[in-house]
Chains A and B, each alone.
Chain A
Amino acid sequence: MTIDELRATAAARRETCARIKRMIVSRLDLPIEPEWITDDQPLFGRGLELDSLDVLELYVAIEAEFGVALYDSDMSVFGSVSRLAGHVDPALTLAETSA
């Protein structure tokens, strides 16, 4: 890939991550700018320190925003914003595994 093609691939993931961050800040009413959250930031425990009630809110929000249903048993999707991006937009994960 040329550097411009790499930038375009990166921009697609960054845009999905940005949508997720805006959704999290808005739905959970967090007092921070979405851009303060990093793509690699964990969402539970350390990191954003979300709790189980926040998870329920995010399940609803993700389905509304991205049309993707997540389930209780799949907590690893909340490992980071970027990990979540790969789940709501499978094309990103495909790009990662085929890179």
Chain B
Amino acid sequence: MESPIAQPAGAVHGDILEARVALRYTTLAEEYGAIRERAAVLDLSGARIIEIGGADAVDFAQRVLARDVEYLTAERCMTSLVLDADGRVVDQVVVWGRETGMLLESSVGGGARLLEHLTGLAGDGVEITDRSAELTLFGLEGPYSWGVVGRLIDGELAALPFESVVDTEWDGVPIVFARTGFTGEYGYKVLLPRTEAQRLWDAAVAEAVPAGQEALELAMLEVRQPLVHREAGAADILEMGANWLVDITKEDFVGRDAVLAAFAGPEGMRTVGFTTSADAPAAGTPVTVDGERIGEVVHAVHSVGLDAALGLIRVPADLAAAGLRLTVGDAEVTTLTSPYVTPKSWSTPII
């Protein structure tokens, strides 16, 4: 997966699963600051757009998605997990309701695995089509991203209810616009023809700061938005703490039996946030108490917002709580309450 956008000189790139993405265009601090204080534009072309069509599209989507999409209209979207039969995470997706069928937006880099999973489950009456060669995705995030929506597309779209979807136009180009995001700030996405991506990107960067994957993932971590490629691994959804992306009241979906069995069983490991003034420890670094290993680091980075290392550890459930002082590697850490940074958008009205 390659971006359709011409990459500026100095941009730093990296691979996330199948996707080659811009990690940063300038500096992490500048791009993170745009997400948390102003407005940032995100190239999300590393996410695949997969269409579920055919006469049995809705029934199939109900079976493969962990949340209830039976009544998802063409004016709504929602975030859901896709699980395998063992209850492990295949991917986290945004489901876009459409007049016929649905569009699944994969996580960045997670599309190939998702596509293979869906294709393997689809039977007669279901058509799985990878639309990524024709469609691509941009995001806007930030406490003033609503102003960018107004200047760039249409001010009336800025205050749409959360998870609304609208078919509209930008400069004569048909687009699908959604109010949804990742960081706890006001968030929007635009689904558009790949052939028009450069033009819209150029217009967007005149209004907002381009932010790469590093800044986006940091802002996601700060509000405990799951990063599947960093957090899932062999963990089940209870260990991840991703329960809210599974509708346990739904009668049937792939992975439900495994999820219910795990929920009914003894509490195992759970995930909790931590911070430390030491350097961010590597994934897998042991968590200890009095020299006894009790868990390990899942993922950690330096948080610009906290000016300290921020990460997730997986420890026994009876120790997965905020306010504890533990040892990670050689450093002392303190466990935290989510969200670790309060989004400015929570106290910034759309005007």
Contact = CB atoms under 8 A, between A and B. Distances in A.
Contacts of B290: 2-3
Given A6-B289, A32-B248, A36-B248, A80 B321 contact: no
A4 to B, nearest CB: 10
Contact of A41 (B162, B244, B321): B244
B159 interface: no
A22 B292 CA distance: 34
Given A42-B338, A83-B339, A95-B323, 9 more contacts: A6-B289, A14-B321, A35-B263, A36-B243, A36-B263, A79-B338, A80-B224, A86-B322, A92-B323
Nearest to B79: A46
Interface residues of A, number: 38
3 tightest CB-CB pairs across the interface, nearest first? A96-B323, A10-B321, A40-B338
A86 B337 contact: yes
Nearest to B247: A32
Nearest to A78: B346
A3 B323 contact: no
B53 interface: no
Nearest to B341: A79
A94 B168 CA distance: 50
Contacts of B292: 3
17 contacts: A3-B290, A6-B326, A10-B320, A10-B324, A14-B321, A32-B249, A36-B243, A37-B244, A42-B244, A45-B162, A46-B225, A48-B244, A79-B223, A79-B342, A80-B224, A85-B337, A99-B334
B322 A13 contact: yes
Interface in B305-351: 318-326, 334-339, 342, 346-347
A99 B319 contact: no
Contacts of A3: 289-290, 292, 294, 319
A26 interface: no
Nearest to B292: A3
Nearest to B288: A3
A40 B249 contact: no
B319 A75 contact: no
Chain A interface SS verdict (over half): helix
Interface in A26-85: 31-32, 35-42, 45-48, 73, 75-76, 79-80, 82-83, 85
B241 interface: yes
Interface size class of B (residues with CB under 8 A): 35 or more
Contacts of A2: 289-290
Contacts of B212: none
A35 B241 CA distance: 12
Given A46-B79, A47-B244, A99-B334, A1 B325 contact: yes
Given A6-B319, A32-B249, A40 B324 contact: no
A12 to B, nearest CB: 8
A47 B347 CA distance: 19
B347 to A, nearest CB: 7
A6 to B, nearest CB: 5
The listed residue with most B CB atoms (<10 A of its CB), out of A2, A9, A37, A92, is A9
B116 to A, nearest CB: 27
A40 to B, nearest CB: 4
A79 B294 CA distance: 28
Interface string A5-21: 01101110110000000
Contacts of B339: 42, 79-80, 83
B244 A38 contact: yes
A35 B324 CA distance: 21
A96 B241 contact: no
A11 B318 contact: yes
